[in-house]
Each structure stands twice: as structure tokens, then as C-alpha cells.
Amino acid sequence: MIGRVKLLVVISQYNFDAMKFLACSLALILIAGCGPVRLTVDDAVVSPQDNTLRCSAYLQREPIFGIRHFSPGSRVDFIADGKKIASVPTGADGRAEVSAPFVPGSANRLDAVAAVDGTTYRGSSTIYDWDDHRTIVVIDIDRTISRTDFDHLVLVDGEDERSTPLSGSRRAMETLARDCHFIYLTARPRFLLDKTRMWLLDEEFPVGPVIASPGLREAIRRTEYKIEILAVLRSRWPTVLIGIGNSESDEEAYEKSGLLTLLVNQKHVHTDHPRTYRFHNWKALARFFETNRDLLADPDKLTIAIKDDTIASLLHRPADGPATQPAPP
């Protein structure tokens, strides 16, 4: 009982989305008992200069209160283009990770297979071939591009049929996709990874890797989790330069990671950071991006502007009204 009280105290310190996720997830677990074993495979990205592919998958069970059970030492086979390219055991955290020889363009799907107690588990993800000289935009999902029905998302099997795209988000992202790559970074737990990918595909959002949190604990401490992930992403891809979100936690994570921060659909976000811009809606953000396309679509120029703290003087508001709310000086 003390543990449950402590958990509720911790939950109360975080935002509504995290609380909703946890409440729905715990309800699902209490109904179904200890969750099933899941094998989820991370999306992979390669550039023309790469000759290896980072393969990563998690084999884990999500039981009550977000305390995960793992299967350390379980061997995971990674398969691309119908051929096994690597085989590695899971670690103490249930993660199997390895770099395997790979020819860019030779496959666009990464499969994984593992066996636990005589049962075979399978998962798959997408291999993205990227131009390493394009700006990479990190995008949050819930309340940024999705009006999410959390109850249906977590508690109902099958596709997410009740969450809907926020007005203008898909069209704006289609515009940005002409010049940028996208990474969808969400605090949703990994057991929702495949469901999230399917929703993005069904709603015809631009393609891009989807990164979900390892479990419920990371979903609660979403700001710290995103900062950790962004540090890894930026070390691998220096052109990760823009973050789009809607909440104070997104704002903090992007700012501390050195990104140009663009916030939509959030009237009550306050900031004094010069790299943060707020927008009433996605239409205003798209107009802002189009006005500043020469800078935002050029990762070399944008990197220098962020590093030298000159970006505020280089960005321009659209001429048709106060659609953006730049941070005060």
C-alpha cells in the first residue's frame, strides 16, 4: 500500500498525459494480468556513407506499476531482405543491440525473431535511407499532431480508430517534408509502438522513425527521457536541429538539447528562451517555416545560427499577422 501511495504522489507531479497513460495501462494490466511478452524492433536509419546497420530490439513483459520483467540472455536474430544479418543475446534490460554489415538501399525492412520458453516472437521495423545533409525535425505526437483518445489507445486491441490528427498538422508536415527528415519522439510506452506506427501510416503523415519510451516509468518522467534520447540522436545525427511540441516538458527537453523549439496548440506555455517560438496552430507554423525556409532547411546555416545565438535576429515573422509569439528578450 505504501508503494502505491508513493506512486500516486509521483504521478501527481507530472502532466495529464502521463497520468492518463499510466491509469489506462494499469487498468489494462489489472484486467488482463501480467502483460504478454513483446518483441519490439526499433526503426533504423542509414545514410549513403554507412556500411553498417544499427539493429535494436526489446524483449520484455510489462507488468503492474511499470516494473518490467525482462528475458536476459534470449537470443534475437535480425533479418534484412530475407537474410539473417546478426544474432545477439538480450542484456539485463531486455535489449538486444548490434551493428551489422549493411549496404544502403539493399532493404527497407528489419525483422527480428526470438524464442522464449518454447514460444517464438516476431517484430519488424523500417529501415530509412536518409540524406545526411538535411535538417532533422523531432516531433512529439500527443496533443501536438494527435487529438489522442487515451482510453481507446491503451485499452482497446487493434488499430487506434478514435484519435484524430489535429487541424492542419498533416498538411503542414507535408510542406516541411520537402526539406526535412522527421523523427517522431513520444513518451508513449513501447507496447504502443506498433499501434502508433500504424496510426501515423493510416493518417498519412510523412514517414519517419518512431521512438517510444522503454516503459511506464519513462513515460512519467518524460522530460528527462526525451533529453536522454535527444543527446543520443544528436551524437549520431548532428543535423537534429528543430523540435516541435506542445507542452512545457517538450519545451524544456528541446531547449536543454540545443534545438530550435517550435510550440503549437498551447496558449499557456511561457518561456524566456530566444530559441523558442510559439504558434496558435499548425497553419501559422507552416507559414513561419516557409518564410524562413532558406535558413531552416539548410543544416549548416542553422547550426551556426544556433551555436552563435544569432538565430533570433535571422528569423522573420510572416507578414500576415501575429501568428507566432517569439520569446521575450
Domain with CATH 3.40.50.1000 in the chain: 135-326
Mean pLDDT of 301-318: 91
At residue 324, does pLDDT exceed 70?
no
pLDDT tens digits along 106-142: 899 999 999 988 899 999 999 999 998 999 999 999 9
**251-272, pLDDT tens digit by residue?**
999 999 999 999 998 675 455 6
Q: For residue 206, give the nearest of 238, 244, 241 by alpha carbon.
A: 244
DSSP code string of 143-187: TTTEE--HHHHHHS-S---S-EEPTTHHHHHHHHTTTEEEEEEEE
Compute φ and ψ for 239, nearest 5 degrees.
Answer: -85, 10
Give me the DSSP letters along 95-117. EEEEEEE--TTS-SEEEEEEEET
Whole-model pTM: value is 0.87
Q: Work out the percent of the chain whose per-residue pLDDT is above 90.
A: 63
The whole-number pLDDT of residue 319 equals 53
| CATH 2.60.40.10 domain extents, the chain | 37-129
What are phi and psi for residue 202, nearest 5 degrees? -65, -35
Asked whether the predicted pLDDT for residue 302 surpasses 70, the reply is: yes
pLDDT tens column, 43-55: 999 988 888 999 9
pLDDT: which is higher, 8 or 218: 218
The reported pLDDT for the residue numbered 133 is: 92
Query: How sure is the predictor about 217, in pLDDT bands with cuts at 50, 70 and 90?
Result: confident
Report residue 31's pLDDT band, with 50, 70 and 90 as the boundaries.
very low
Task: Tell me the CATH number for domain 135-326.
Answer: 3.40.50.1000
Instruction: Give the sheet arrangement for strand 44-46, strand by strand.
Output: 44-46, 119-129, 109-116, 75-80, 83-89
CA distance 289 to 224: 28
Which position has the grid cell 487506434?
Answer: 160
Nearest-angstrom CA–CA distance, 97 and 58: 9
Mean pLDDT of 279-303: 95
Distance CA 145, CA 17 (A): 14
pLDDT tens, 134-156? 999 999 999 999 999 988 888 88
Helix or strand (DSSP H, E) at 295: helix 293-296
Burial 167-205 (b: 16+ CB within 10 A, else e): ebbbebbebbeeebbbbbbbbbbbbbbbbbbebbeeeeb
**Closest-CA residue to 215 (of 29, 73, 8, 55):** 29
Residue 316's Cβ-count burial label (10 Å; 0-12, 13-18, 19+) is exposed
Distance of CA 276 to the CA centre of its chain: 20
> Rounded to an integer, what distance in angstroms lies between the CA atom of residue 173 and that of residue 281?
12
Cα separation, 172 vs 219, whole angstroms: 27
What is the CATH code of the structural domain delimited by 37-129? 2.60.40.10
Least confident of 46-55, 58-67, 76-85, 103-112: 58-67
CA distances from 173 to 57, 70, 144, 163 (A): 28, 37, 12, 18
